[in-house]
Amino acid sequence: MQIDHQHHLAGNQVIQKDCPKNKIKFESGLPDTIVIHFTAGRSAESSANYLSSDVKASAHLVIGRAGEIYQLVAFDTIAWHAGESQYGGRTGLNKYSIGIELDNAGELKRVGTEYQAWFGGRYQPTDVLYARHRNETMRSYWQTYTQEQIDMCEQVCQLLIEKYGIKTILGHEEIAPTRKRDPGPAFPLDKFRQNLLSQNRTDEPDETGKEAVVTGDLLNIRAGAGVDFPTIAPPLAVGTPVKVLEEKEGWVKVETKISGWVSKAFLKYE
């Protein structure tokens, strides 16, 4: 698999689709970010058809459960996947990022011995994870991703990092935490970006000792650096001033009235 001069993926498992509505190119030096999504749809094909049709949403890629890939938008062109969003000092992440959609039904409801998606699709317990979302306190049911899908997503991200100098990989749930829950807890986001971006980690400025403010509303503050640690106080509101005590793998230990760990994505440094 490779990225050609038209900014298209070329490979056995890649299907190119026309998506004429997206025409505007990224500014020079961009994209530098990848945003991961789930489709909350029935199949990769149906999601690829929908996103390339005359609707106000699209993405660069849709990756199916067997690792098949639909490309809708060339990587030098802005797609419409992020919506109203922010990260660090930036707003409107479409103009900075490649959007990758993974075919996944999202949150499921338990119905008897099965699990049901919002569109009526039914799933067996072996395809379901009961887990807490990073932005929430209660556990719920989520369709799992396939290993083929995660592996293919990792391969594609590696190519994008090499070709475009991608520095950041984020979940939609991190750039629009009040609206979005994708890719959700079934996707190993922290491990995924740690594997892919570890070689770039030393390039990131260390914010230890700085003052910052919270940019995401209801930011969970935890006992340790990761979503598996319990929250230790009510979530922090937008605009809460904090002091950065320590940093580790996308998490920042902050001090406000109390001290604890928060996701680095939701702080803006003074």
- Residues annotated catalytic, as ranges: 101
Q: Cβ of residue 184: shortest distance to Zn ion, in angstroms?
A: 10
Segment holding 97, helix H or strand E: strand 97-102
Find the helix packing angle between 147-164 and 189-197, rounded to 10°: 40
Is 74 or 170 the residue whose CB approaches Zn ion more closely?
170
Q: Smallest distance from the beta carbon of 177 to Zn ion, in angstroms?
A: 12
Q: How far is the C-alpha of 62 from the C-alpha of 102, rounded, in Å?
A: 6
Determine the Cα–Cα distance for residues 4 and 262; give it in Å rounded to an integer.
39
Q: Which three-class secondary structure state does DSSP give residue 86?
A: strand
| Largest CA-CA distance found in the chain, in angstroms, rounded | 55
Question: Nearer Cβ to Zn ion, position 71 or 85?
Answer: 85
Q: How far is the CB of 171 from Zn ion (least distance, A)?
A: 8
Q: Is the dihedral of CA 266, 99, 202, 251 positive or negative?
A: positive
The distance of closest approach from Cβ of residue 166 to Zn ion in the complex, given in angstroms and rounded to an integer, is: 18
Whose Cβ is closer to Zn ion: residue 193's or residue 253's? 193
What are the residues binding Zn ion (CB under 5 A)? 37, 172, 182
Separation between Cα atoms, residue 263 and residue 240, nearest integer Å: 14
Q: Which is nearer to Zn ion, 37 or 222 (CB)?
A: 37
For 151, the enclosing helix (H) or strand (E) is helix 147-164
Residue 221 token pair: 């503050």
